[in-house]
Amino acid sequence: MTCPSSTASSLALTLLVCATSALHAAQPPVFEVSALALPAMDSGAQPDLVGSANGSLFLSWTEKLDTGHRLRFSRLLEAEEGDTNAEDRWLPAQTIASGDDWFVNWADTPHLVAFGDGTLWAHWLRKNGTAIYDYGVALVHSGDQGQTWSAPIRLEPEGARLDYGFVSLWEQHEGVLGIGWLDSRQKQPPHEGHDEHHDHGGGAMMLRAATFDAAGVRTGDWALDTATCDCCPTSVAMTSDGAVLAYRGRTTEEVRDIQLVRLDGRAWSQPVTVHADNWIFAGCPVNGPAVVASGKQVWVAWYTEGGGQPAVRIARSRDAGRKFDSPLQVAQGKAQLGRVDMAMDANNVWLTWLVESSKDNAQQLMLARIDAKSGTLMQRGVVADIAAKGRASGLPQIQVQEGDAWLVWTDSVDGKLRLRGAKVRSNNKAATPGPSTKSAP
């Protein structure tokens, strides 16, 4: 494939990807960006990129089959000294599950979590009724590095219909899975033939959490918030005090601000509002938060239109999520699409999100680096042009390994969804504090 000259000129710094996703580097360079080889370059969508306690990266994704779908994953081995070739470090892809009764959606995607002892847990969505949005959660685990998997565990109540999803997974403590999800058990079943997404009448969507032991037995179950946004992804992180779960709330006045709950020992806290954006929206924006943590420091990023303009904000808590500082406004303007994700290391918080491009209604993948100590926005720039339009680009993913940011996203190549990736190294010598370091109102 021959790349257009306009794309080539924007890639003077690093490797050019001759595909519909073109990697960027500004002049002078904001980030050093290089293409990341993936184990599924020619197929796949709905990526999930997660780290493990031993430093490995896991990538899972969904593939469409002639009949049905399958969920696959691969592991990136830890680099040996001097080894910079990621392509040689991806293990052969393995299949977690396949089926013809799956519910596959751009925003409500499968997830994988890797425990410290090597145990893997994963989930996908499968139909539980005849309406389009009748689906629930299938949960499986593996104790042999993904060679074999348990029989699926049904998360929602037996016989339940409607939608159960937007899952977050974490290792609660050794050998115990924590899972949070959006739950529709308070709602009424839709009338026959009524398939409007998440508009079933009756009660509100709720946030629930549960724990499962190593044998797959449910050991705890909690209702955390009885009124949430219907279809915004949730996000989880572990602090020194326990898990924190972030989600988009919903009030009777249709305020859709970001909330957070904490699990301290065996009890969950009451919801805390990360920041009072007062975004009133009579519907679901399908735009959830991202949360990362280290010790008692917690960072939450989100998209909002509170204040009248689309914006991406980030806020820090210094006490494990009990209260938050005023947020930084990282980006603002009508081009902002949100769909945020974050990663964190000892020095930096990395934030990625999508914007609409001025070219052919395509999109761009943005990245910001924030100093984890001062909270200053240090760098911000474009990582990639994305040919996918609308919701086809899904939810980009980011992790940090060896001081570099690793990103994976869904793009469109010749009309088909494909996974693409980039590895980003900050150029500290060229970096200066970014222009958007003021606090949001």
**Per-residue pLDDT tens for 104-158?**
999 999 999 999 999 999 999 999 999 999 999 999 999 999 999 999 999 999 9
Give residue 203's pLDDT. Answer: 86
- Regarding predicted confidence, which is higher, 185 or 79? 185
Does some domain include residue 374?
yes
The whole domain housing 2 covers 1-35+327-441
Q: Is residue 411, in this structure, part of any structural domain at all?
A: yes
Asked if the structure places residue 440 within a domain, the reply is yes
Question: Rounded distance, CA 142 to CA 159, Å?
Answer: 26
Q: What is the pLDDT of residue 89?
A: 86
DSSP label of 284: -
pLDDT averaged over the chain? 87
Does residue 431 form part of some domain?
Answer: yes
Q: Identify the pLDDT of residue 187.
A: 87
Highest mean pLDDT among 74-88, 93-107, 184-198: 93-107
Query: What's the pLDDT at 83?
Result: 59
Is 253 a member of any domain?
no
* Residue 259 included in any domain: no
* Among candidate residues 301, 305, 289, 309, the one with its CA nearest the CA of residue 254: 305
Query: Is 333 or 197 the better-scoring residue by pLDDT?
Result: 333
Find out whether 342 and 351 touch, Cβ atoms under 8 Å.
yes
The winner for highest mean pLDDT among 77-81, 184-188, 248-252 is 248-252
Cα–Cα dist 136/142, whole Å: 20
Is 27 within a domain? yes
pTM for the model stands at: 0.89
**Average pLDDT over every residue of 244-267:** 95
Spacing of C-alpha 323 from chain mean position = 23
Look at residue 29 and tell me if it is in a domain.
Answer: yes
Least confident of 216-225, 369-378, 425-434: 425-434
Mean pLDDT across 264-271: 90
Q: Which residues pair with 315 in a beta bridge?
A: 300
Mean pLDDT to the nearest integer, 41-68: 93
What does the pLDDT average to over 205-230?
Answer: 97
Sequence-distant (≥ 6) Cβ neighbours of residue 237 within 8 angstroms: 170, 243, 244, 246, 291, 292, 293, 298
**Which of 204, 212, 206 shows the shortest CA–CA distance to 247?**
206
Number of domains in the chain: 1
